[in-house]
A and B are shown apart, each in its own frame.
Chain A
Amino acid sequence: MSRAREVVLVLGAAGLVLAIAWFVPWLRFVLTIALAKGLAVLGILLLLRAGQVSFGHALYLAFAAYAAAFGAALVPETLILLPLAALGAALLGLVVGLFVVRYREIFFGMLNLALSMVFYSVLEKFYAITHGTDGIRLPPTTFAGQVLGAEAQGWAMLSLALVLSAFFAWLMRIYLASPLGQALAGIKTREARLEFMGMSARRVLLSAYVLSALMAGTGGAVLGMTTRHVTPALAYWTTSGELVFIAILGGAGSVAGPFLGAIAYELTRVYAAALVADAWQMILGFVLLLVILFAPGGLWAIGRALMGGRRQA
């Protein structure tokens, strides 16, 4: 696919998101949340390239969201807070990564899960600081020094989420095309060969892990600043499971998959909840089953088939 065509597609997709948010105002919030989760799922996708599933990426999501919540009291500026929170998550990712990249597959997944649950417990038990499960509210933040009204703030966060999504999708493509990114596939197929080539599999995985923590952190900071209320549930294992689920729903074949999956997931959830308040989980479950049974490549694969089949991108 030509570069110009891709740019047109990205702009078209962004335009569509903005159009939906304009015509259906309440979806603006839902779409922002979806993009934030999409960012975190992009991080999961990166590790999937190495054949590793993290069942604990909600750790970075929640860490950045809480960092933003606590930081907002000190630095009430979105454009400073967001990178700080994301970098904090990346740093945490580096520390955790040093340990978890020694493990593979189920051990990698479970260790991540365990650590995210440790963080969940910390948030829940340090009641005097975190207010436990009731969570804490983010004070209003300025945007580039401007105090925005509720409406403008909503648009600013959606635009920011769009820009960040496009940026990280682009960054991820470059990363995956680079030797470091290519080596991830080596970890998936046969790690020993990678070592024979003189590359350290641990370092390769560590760099991917830190990058994925950064993306999950960015998503978490956007999420926290959009809902403006953070609770420990963000770090709970079901949130991690949701992220992995979105990755499968969207399809692991493309950097567009996470965003496609996240938006489809959130829209299915809100419309199912609007349609049948007490059986929405069943609808969501059916959609997931259908995708797993009939479109194992995820929504992205369906989209590509619709767009003209076997063309190589």
Chain B
Amino acid sequence: MTSGDPGPILGAAVGKPGPVTRRETLAAAVAGGLLLSGRHVQAQPSRPAEIKVGIATYLSGPASVFGVPGRQAAEMLFDEINEAGGIGGVRVRPIFVDEGPGVDHFVGEYRRLVQSEGVHIVFAAISSGDCLACTPLADEMKRPTLLWDCGTQRIFEENRFEYSFRTQANATPEVLSALLYLLRAKPDFRSIAVVNQDYAWGRDSWEIFRTAMQALKPGVRVSAELFPRFGATDYSTEITRLLALRPDVVLSTSWGGDLDAFIRQSSDRRLFERSTFVLPLAESSLERVGRALPAGHIIGARGDHWFLHPGPKDPALLKRFTDNFRRRFSSYPIYPCHHMAQAVFAMKAGYEKAMAAKGGGWPTDAELAAAFRGLEFPSLTASVRIREDGQGLENQIIGTTHHADQYPFAVMTDMVVFPAELVTTPVGMKSADWLKTLKPEIIQRVPQPVAYQP
């Protein structure tokens, strides 16, 4: 034992008796300066100088393929709102936080956003784990929170929250629409194999798909259930196995670098020629994989997010957004950009509804939160309604890949826009139970596909 007292924490000046030296004063000043801001009580509900919006997104790690475009869309839309005079005359300012380091860091960041930055509203998050962790926190801290991108259906099916609202769909409609599209486009497939990332989403989405498939088309043989490591770069084993098994359909809900690698390697080994692929998240990879993704396979976009949407409610809005985004960031906006736009539009509509209800007065946190329940707001392609349980009702687009001359990557043809009510679990039911009650007649209610228009 050479030394050892569980001693001072931040500077040398702590707890030491005797006269205060200059060095100690300096240390104390450094320690004090480290703490950027102090305790403050938020004034309510006077009109603030600006609306501060805390936005949780992935700025590092694999999911930054979604997080960074999401942030870019937010920056662009916040600029547009401010140019147009803000919300109710108040400017908006985004404060981004990185979800990369994991849930315990994010929970700390959420507190910092609310208690130190004093944000008025939070957009959280891409990770389902982060959403699950922050929804009870939102109720605890009484801060309106919009779940802008996370997929898990558990949130509003297992709990009721007063301050959290989802401005998009969840895993159930996203996966179910892909299945319905498949059942309609290729009704006589007999075997299926799944290649999903080995983590919650990969497992959850297969569970949803399989449950619904057993209800709608019992007797399909599951040739293989493959769950390669999250972040895997080599799929040669999986592809070899699939080449040998020859399943009619290959399902993969993978995304990001995993999906890119899987598509490229499957393309190199001509797996696409043997099986029909169903890739519900492929829209976000199209530009990166280019022509490696052949025509004739089923892809989706976690909602009705597609820059060539066959029937957008406001074509000018979608075109302006797509063009501006391309001009500013040199890429096509992918689904997280649409999800971010929905959160921004929902915030704007929510504030306006709450202010209208108060005769133009500025709403309190509780009044703002109440405004989101039942709110209907525009999306880039249609509109979204937030149900009484907080879940958003969002349409889903699924299409078949098609190679067009104008684009160096696959685009969609035979697009089906599924109405949200058809594919979303009703209020008060759990997805697993609801999916079991599905009847094959639902396939007849699927709208007609719309072909690609050059």
Name A's B-contacting residues (CB within 8 A): 1, 5-6, 8-13, 15-17, 20, 22-27, 29-30, 33, 124-125, 127, 131-135, 137, 150, 165-166, 169-170, 173, 176-177, 181, 223, 227-229, 231, 233-234, 253-256, 259-260, 263, 267, 269-271, 273-274, 277-278, 280-281, 300, 303-304, 306-307, 312-313
Contact A137 B112 (CB under 8 A): no
Contact B14 A13 (CB under 8 A): yes
Category for how many chain B residues contact A: 35 or more
A27 CB contacts on chain B under 8 angstroms: 35
A29 CB contacts on chain B under 8 angstroms: 107-108, 111
Contact A6 B5 (CB under 8 A): yes
Question: How far is B132's CA from A177's CA once the two chains are assembled, in angstroms?
Answer: 46
Tell me which of B35, B132, B198 contacts A134 (CB under 8 A).
Answer: B132
Contact A13 B98 (CB under 8 A): no
Question: How far is B102's CA from A33's CA once the two chains are assembled, in angstroms?
Answer: 13
- Residue B96 lies at the interface, judged by CB distance under 8 Å to chain A: yes
Question: How far is B61's CA from A280's CA once the two chains are assembled, in angstroms?
Answer: 13
- Residue B10 lies at the interface, judged by CB distance under 8 Å to chain A: yes
- Residue B454 lies at the interface, judged by CB distance under 8 Å to chain A: no
A173 CB, nearest partner CB in chain B, Å: 6
Given A132-B199, A270-B108, A307-B12, residue A24 in contact with residue B3 (CB < 8 A):
no
Given A227-B107, A231-B103, residue A16 in contact with residue B129 (CB < 8 A):
no
Which residue on chain B has the smallest CB distance to residue A24?
B35
- Residue B89 lies at the interface, judged by CB distance under 8 Å to chain A: no
B296 CB, nearest partner CB in chain A, Å: 33
Question: How far is B203's CA from A259's CA once the two chains are assembled, in angstroms?
Answer: 39
Tell me which of B9, B133, B141 contacts A229 (CB under 8 A).
Answer: B133
Given A135-B133, A233-B103, A303-B8, residue A124 in contact with residue B199 (CB < 8 A):
yes
B22 CB contacts on chain A under 8 angstroms: none
User: A-side binding surface: helix, strand, loop or mixed?
Assistant: helix
Contact B14 A313 (CB under 8 A): no
B323 CB, nearest partner CB in chain A, Å: 26
Contact A273 B14 (CB under 8 A): no
- Residue B43 lies at the interface, judged by CB distance under 8 Å to chain A: no
Given A253-B2, A263-B10, A269-B101, residue A26 in contact with residue B129 (CB < 8 A):
no
- Residue B115 lies at the interface, judged by CB distance under 8 Å to chain A: yes
Contact A132 B203 (CB under 8 A): yes
B21 CB, nearest partner CB in chain A, Å: 10
Contact B104 A227 (CB under 8 A): yes
Given A15-B15, A127-B203, A278-B59, residue A303 in contact with residue B7 (CB < 8 A):
yes
Contact B4 A173 (CB under 8 A): yes
Contact A255 B4 (CB under 8 A): yes
Contact B96 A166 (CB under 8 A): no
Which residue on chain B has the smallest CB distance to residue A169?
B6
Interface residues of B in 11-33 (CB under 8 A from A): 12, 14-17, 23, 27
Contact B38 A24 (CB under 8 A): yes
A125 CB contacts on chain B under 8 angstroms: 198
Given A8-B17, A22-B39, A137-B132, residue A229 in contact with residue B103 (CB < 8 A):
yes
Contact B34 A267 (CB under 8 A): yes
Contact A277 B96 (CB under 8 A): yes
- Residue B97 lies at the interface, judged by CB distance under 8 Å to chain A: yes
B16 CB contacts on chain A under 8 angstroms: 9, 12, 307
Interface residues of B in 97-126 (CB under 8 A from A): 97-98, 101-105, 107-109, 111-112, 114-116
B203 CB contacts on chain A under 8 angstroms: 127, 132
Question: How far is B203's CA from A256's CA once the two chains are assembled, in angstroms?
Answer: 44
Contact A223 B104 (CB under 8 A): yes
Contact A25 B39 (CB under 8 A): yes
Question: How far is B133's CA from A233's CA once the two chains are assembled, in angstroms?
Answer: 14
- Residue B200 lies at the interface, judged by CB distance under 8 Å to chain A: yes
Chain A CB within 10 Å, residue with most, of B36, B128, B129: B129
Given A25-B115, A278-B60, A306-B27, residue A256 in contact with residue B36 (CB < 8 A):
no
A228 CB, nearest partner CB in chain B, Å: 7
Contact A8 B15 (CB under 8 A): yes
Query: Would you list the 3 A-B pairs with minimal beta carbon distance, nearest first?
Result: A12-B15, A313-B3, A229-B133
Enumerate 15 A-B pairs (CB-CB under 8 Å) in ascending A order. Answer: A10-B6, A12-B8, A13-B14, A25-B111, A26-B112, A125-B198, A133-B199, A134-B152, A165-B6, A229-B132, A253-B4, A255-B5, A271-B34, A307-B8, A313-B5
Which residue on chain A has the smallest CB distance to residue B104?
A227
- Residue B441 lies at the interface, judged by CB distance under 8 Å to chain A: no
Interface residues of B in 139-188 (CB under 8 A from A): 140-141, 152, 154
- Residue B136 lies at the interface, judged by CB distance under 8 Å to chain A: yes
Chain A CB within 10 Å, residue with most, of B15, B36, B101: B15
> Beta-carbon contacts of B197-220 to A below 8 Å, as 1s and 0s?
011100100000000000000000
Contact A134 B6 (CB under 8 A): no
Which residue on chain A has the smallest CB distance to residue B17?
A8
Contact A256 B104 (CB under 8 A): no
Known: A6-B6, A16-B8, A231-B129. 13 other contacts (CB 8 A): A9-B6, A9-B7, A9-B16, A10-B6, A15-B15, A16-B10, A125-B198, A135-B129, A169-B6, A255-B5, A270-B108, A273-B97, A304-B3
